[in-house]
Amino acid sequence: MNEKAVAALLVAAALPAAALAQSADTTYCRALGATYDKYVNNPSNARGKPPVAEVGRAQSQCDDNPAAAIPVLEKALRDARISLPPRSS
């Protein structure tokens, strides 16, 4: 095989793994956001608190930039003493 064919093969093999990792992060990020909404940002819940702009921005980033959103959501849940949802790999 020539070098271009080998490089193309390596790139093609790496793409599904990257997409899968991004998908797992996106899924986890959405789970964090849903947990936050259920237990913290829920007016019908005794713990309900007004929405926090930083958390809202993080939730809106779950699809495009979950790596930046996840730490914000995890911190918000820990600060509220809420257990984090499980993270599947």
SS3 35: helix
Q: How many domains would you assign to the chain?
A: 1
Kindly tell me the sign of the dihedral angle through the C-alpha atoms of 27, 32, 36, 39: positive
User: Which has the higher per-residue pLDDT, 53 or 18?
Assistant: 53
Query: Looking at the predicted structure, is the pLDDT value of residue 6 above 50?
Result: no
In a domain, residue 15? The reply is no
| Residue 52 located in a structural domain | yes
Tens-digit pLDDT profile for residues 31-80: 999 999 998 887 676 655 666 889 999 999 999 999 999 999 999 999 99
- Residues contacting residue 50 through CB under 8 Å, at least 6 positions apart: 41
34 three-state secondary structure? helix
The answer to whether residue 17 sits within a structural domain is no
For residue 4, being part of any structural domain is answered with no
Q: For the chain, percent helix, then strand, then coil, each to nearest 5?
A: 65, 0, 35
